[in-house]
């Protein structure tokens, strides 16, 4: 009798653990965000055209062109093997700059340009305290107009 209670108890614990594991794995699968690198997207060829997807890589230095009147941003995203031209229409993210990591949602067009609908920039989680001689007003200016503070 005591053995059967132990077996049923162990089976109950195993069922609870298995149920919790299934909930965790199922929840993660729905929330994990995958993206393709430029070389992976190029390798897909024409099958990737007009398919909604995410592209991740680094903004190629010297490739950024911003038209403030049209709110049109053109740049290239690269990885260690290849690069893809990107066009984004909308407000330029404040932290966007050459050399930064980006993840872009959109679709590849037939002309080889990735048409972006959403642009996300990666940023460091490293906090850098202001210099001892920093003046708060100049720090605020750097937020409004990048490059105004050394």
Nearest one of 105, 92, 93 to 41, comparing CA atoms? 105
Topology given in CATH for the domain delimited by 38-121: OB fold (Dihydrolipoamide Acetyltransferase, E2P) (2.40.50)
Q: Where are the domains of the chain?
A: 1-32, 38-121
Cβ pair 52, 34 in contact under 8 A: no
Per-residue pLDDT of the chain (150 residues; tens, 9 = 90+): 567 788 888 888 888 888 777 766 666 555 555 788 999 888 888 888 888 899 999 999 999 999 988 999 999 999 988 899 999 998 888 888 898 899 999 999 989 899 999 998 876 666 666 666 655 555 555 445 554 444
């Amino acid at each position: 009798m005591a053995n059967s209670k132990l077996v049923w108890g162990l089976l109950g614990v195993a069922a609870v653990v298995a149920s919790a594991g299934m909930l965790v794995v199922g929840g993660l699968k729905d929330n994990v965000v995958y993206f393709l690198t430029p070389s992976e997207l190029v390798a897909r060829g024409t099958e990737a055209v007009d398919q909604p997807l995410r592209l991740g890589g680094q903004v190629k230095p010297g490739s950024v062109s911003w038209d403030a009147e049209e709110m049109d941003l053109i740049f290239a995203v690269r990885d260690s093997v290849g690069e893809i031209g990107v066009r984004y229409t909308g407000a330029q993210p404040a932290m966007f700059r050459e050399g930064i990591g980006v993840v872009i949602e959109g679709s590849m067009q037939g002309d080889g340009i990735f048409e972006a609908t959403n642009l996300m920039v990666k940023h460091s989680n490293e906090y850098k305290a202001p210099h001892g001689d920093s003046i708060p007003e100049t720090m605020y200016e750097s937020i409004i107009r990048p490059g105004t503070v050394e």
